[in-house]
Structure 1
Amino acid sequence: MNRRTGKRLSRLLVEAAGYGSTARVEALIGAGADPDGRDTDGTTALYVASVQGNPGGVRALLDAGADPNAHSGGPTDGTPLCAAACWGHVETVRALLAGGADPGLREDDGAGLSPLEWAVREEHEDVARLLREALPTAVDGT
C-alpha cells in the first residue's frame, strides 16, 4: 500500500472510531488501515473510540493490534484509558483493561493524571472502582 492510501485509511479509521461505527472500523482494518494509524493531528483511532465511549470500536482496534497504551498526539489528547475514565465510559474502560491498558499509566509522559485520578476528579465512581480493582496498589492521590 502506498503512503497516500495509508494516510487516507488512517484518517477514515479515526473518523469511524469517533462516530461509533464498529462495522466501519472493522471494514477499514480489513482494507489495510493501520490500527495504530493517526490522523493529521496525530490522534489515534483508539483514543477517539475511547473518548466517544465506543467499546465495540475499542475491541476491534485492540483485536487488530492497536497499542492500548499509546499516547495520542493531538493537542489535547492523552491515553485511551485516561480518556475513557475522564468521560465515565464504564464498558470502554473494561474493554481497554481487558485489552492490556495499564491502569497506572499517567498522561503527558508521566507528568499528567492517571486514569484513576481522572475518574475521581470527574466523579465517575463506577469507573474509579474498576480502576482501583485493576491496580496492584490503589493510590489515587485524593
Structure 2
Amino acid sequence: MKINIVFINASQNRSGTTSRMGQNYLNGRKYQQINLVDYKIYQINQSYSDDQFDEVFAKLQQADWIILGTPAYWHYMSGYLKTFIERIGQSKDFNTLAGKKISVFIQGTDPTDAIKPVTDVIARFASVANMNFVDIQEQFIN
C-alpha cells in the first residue's frame, strides 16, 4: 500500500506536543504517524533479533514525503531521531529514499537554538540521500 506522508514523532510522548503539532500541520491530509518510542531501534553496529529498524524503514520507502518532528532535548534533536537518522545512513537500502521529500520541525519551550543545527543536519542528510528538503519549520514558530 502506498503511503503519501509519513510523520515520524521522535518524542518520548506518543501524544504529546510534538505529536499534536504534527497532527495540526497535517490536518486534512492522509498520513501515517510513527512514534519512534514504540519501536526498538538500536545503535549502529548493534545486532539484536528484536531490532525493528527495517520495519520502520520499509514504511519510509513507501512514502512520498517524510516529516520528522522532534522536541529540543539539550539544544538538539531527540536521541530517538538521531539514532534513527544514523541507522538510515548506514542502511544498504539508503538510496531507495532518493527523490522523496523530507522535512523537520523542532518544538520545545524555546527551541530557537536547536532549530538551525537540527535543520542543517536534516538538510545535509537530504542532500546526501538525494532527497528534496522542504523547510516547514517557520510554520511552527508562533
TM-score (norm 2): 0.35
Q: Higher strand fraction: Structure 1 or Structure 2?
A: 2
TM-score, with normalisation over the residues of structure 1? 0.35
